[in-house]
Chain A
Amino acid sequence: GENVEQHPSTLSVQEGDSAVIKCTYSDSASNYFPWYKQELGKGPQLIIDIRSNVGEKKDQRIAVTLNKTAKHFSLHITETQPEDSAVYFCAAGGGFAGGTSYGKLTFGQGTILTVHP
């Protein structure tokens, strides 16, 4: 099955700095890579996703890059703000209709991001 490794487990930055979180995956059939943000006391919420036919996607201060050859993808947050402090999860999913893995997402271990004012 799919295995997703996420690094670092904790990340501390100053307000205004950039933050980068990296993930690697093992299953070459994976073709969907979302990122979720979990604030304290809440469930995770999707912040951005990328599919395998795209190498990079950007949404305001957030960007995700994907390298299918190397099987890794990254989340980049620029101009960080204290409200960006949260736990971030990457995930990978894919497979084909009728396959046993179709519809399943495998999540990384999570990164606790702290942005200091």
Chain B
Amino acid sequence: DVKVTQSSRYLVKRTGEKVFLECVQDMDHENMFWYRQDPGLGLRLIYFSYDVKMKEKGDIPEGYSVSREKKERFSLILESASTNQTSMYLCASSFSRFGEQFFGPGTRLTVL
């Protein structure tokens, strides 16, 4: 069965902290994505990666960076967390560029 796991379901951090959100997929997918979900705004793409060590900016990359050292793992990094980064973060993976994306359960991040 297809599985995307995210390191935490809930996370509380303080302003200015460095935050790592981890995502692992077990489907040998080439493509991985990070979205944030906010009420009334839907899902917005932060970064995506179509290969190991490759990354592309999404629609809202400011304040975020990513790392993909291994095919199965895609990390989202908040270098200096701010309150406006309080949100639900969703990771996804897909076999093809425009095929089904499989989502993890999400990490609800609160920045105080």
Q: Which residues of A contact B (CB under 8 A)?
A: 1, 4, 6, 9, 31-32, 34, 41-46, 49, 89, 91, 93-94, 102-110
A-B contact pairs, 30 of them (CB 8 A): A31-B98, A34-B100, A34-B101, A42-B103, A42-B105, A43-B90, A43-B103, A45-B103, A46-B100, A46-B101, A49-B100, A89-B42, A89-B43, A91-B43, A102-B97, A103-B31, A103-B48, A103-B50, A104-B59, A105-B45, A105-B98, A106-B45, A106-B59, A107-B42, A107-B44, A108-B42, A109-B40, A109-B41, A109-B42, A110-B40
Chain B residues engaging chain A, CB cutoff 8 angstroms: 4, 31, 35, 40-45, 48, 50, 56, 58-59, 90, 92, 97-98, 100-101, 103-106
Q: Which of A43, A89, A93 contacts B106 (CB 8 A)?
A: A43
Query: What total count of A-B pairs have CB within 8 Å?
Result: 58
Determine whether the beta carbon of B41 is less than 8 Å from that of A43. Answer: no
**Complex Cα spacing A4 to B105, Å:** 24
**Are A103 and B97 in contact, with the CB atoms below 8 A?**
yes
